[in-house]
Amino acid sequence: MRIAVIGPGAVGGTLAAWLAQAYEVTLCARTAFDRLEVETPEGALVAAPTVLTDPAAAGPVDWVLVTTKTYDAAGAAAWLAVLVGPQTCVAVLQNGVEHVERFAPYLPADRIMPAVVDIPAERAAPGVIRQRRMGWIKVPAGEAGQAFVALFAHTPIEVTTTDDFTTVAWSKLALNCAGAVNALTLKPSGIAHRDDIAAIMRDLVAECVAVGRAQGADLPDDLPQQVVAGYRAGPADGINSLHADRLAGRPMEIDARNGVIVRKGAAHGIATPVNAMVVALLEAAGE
């Protein structure tokens, strides 16, 4: 079984380190590094997979896991062009709800398996990662989904299939859209303990719920309260990946995490002023 991970950052590096315990893993990286050192909830995991930085050096594999940021899809596509053969399965593990649309310019839509990931991970340096919680991944039910679940059978990560991927993806988006407050304030998760910030988070999520329902997701009325409770229950010093991007001066997944709520809301005639404001503020902050 040959597995390639395109974008071995916080999530990709964590998953690659777990997969490398059982399989031959190739890391398709932008920045070269020698080995993976992941501090997991079960202790340190070290792996030294092959690291490539030039797509010309790669060839077809059995599985490709795409774990770049959403805004790096075009760069990931250069790798897909050489890694994907007739039998290759491609999983896109990113936040947002547009995994398939994002990669449809590069691959037939039925070859793209979307995956929702809830594995908080922070990258201190290339290959050096802290996995905060074991977490979970959900993929759509079906043959490819079952095969993906089997890939992780030797790991403690909870990898399952779902018959309602739309609901899973919008539920995760609800969590992520609220995380914009951290990137805006440059304060970690504990900022959710402030009642004024929690109120903004609930408003962001309420808009996500309205739009997600219009998109077919089955979302509970109290999701805004659940999201805030989740942030409050987690580690106060947790840095989400949007916040990490702003701290590092990288582009941000603003469009995939908040902009999408505004865009899809507009298509349904649903007002999303709080997400629109957050998008404008983060775009201005990132200029």
Ligand X SMILES: NC(=O)C1=CN([C@@H]2O[C@H](COP(=O)(O)OP(=O)(O)OC[C@H]3O[C@@H](n4cnc5c(N)ncnc54)[C@H](OP(=O)(O)O)[C@@H]3O)[C@@H](O)[C@H]2O)C=CC1
Residue 160 has a CB neighbour count (10 Å cut-off) of 14
Residue 214: strand, helix, or coil:
helix
Give me the half-sphere count of Cα atoms (radius 13 Å) on the Cβ side of residue 210: 19
Residue 246 has a CB neighbour count (10 Å cut-off) of 20
Of residues 251 and 270, the one with the C-beta less far from ligand X: 251
Of residues 190 and 270, the one with the C-beta less far from ligand X: 190
Q: Where are the alpha helices (DSSP H) in 92-164?
A: 99-103, 143-151
Question: Token pair for residue 283?
Answer: 């775009």
> Residue 9 binds which one of ligand X, ligand KPL, none, with CB within 5 to 8 A depending on kind?
ligand X
Question: Token pair for residue 205?
Answer: 């999520």
Report the C-alpha gap between 35 and 194 in whole angstroms: 40
Closest CA to 151 of 13, 9, 35, 15: 15
Is position 12 an interface residue for ligand X (rule: CB under 6 A)?
Answer: yes
> Residues touching ligand KPL: how many (CB under 6 A)?
9
Give the shortest CB-176-to-ligand KPL separation in angstroms.
5
Is position 167 an interface residue for ligand KPL (rule: CB under 6 A)?
Answer: no
Choosing from 8, 13, 140, 179, the residue that interacts with ligand KPL (CB under 6 A) is 179
Positions in 212-251 near ligand X (CB under 6 A): 241
Hey, which residues are catalytic here?
Answer: 172
Give the shortest CB-117-to-ligand X separation in angstroms.
4
Report the C-alpha gap between 167 and 164 in whole angstroms: 6
Is position 94 an interface residue for ligand KPL (rule: CB under 6 A)?
Answer: no
> Residue 179 binds which one of ligand KPL, ligand X, none, with CB within 5 to 8 A depending on kind?
ligand KPL
Residues of this chain that bind ligand X (CB under 6 A): 6-12, 28-31, 67-70, 72, 75-76, 79, 94-95, 117, 119-121, 123, 126, 241, 253
Residues of this chain that bind ligand KPL (CB under 6 A): 95, 118-120, 175-176, 179, 240-241
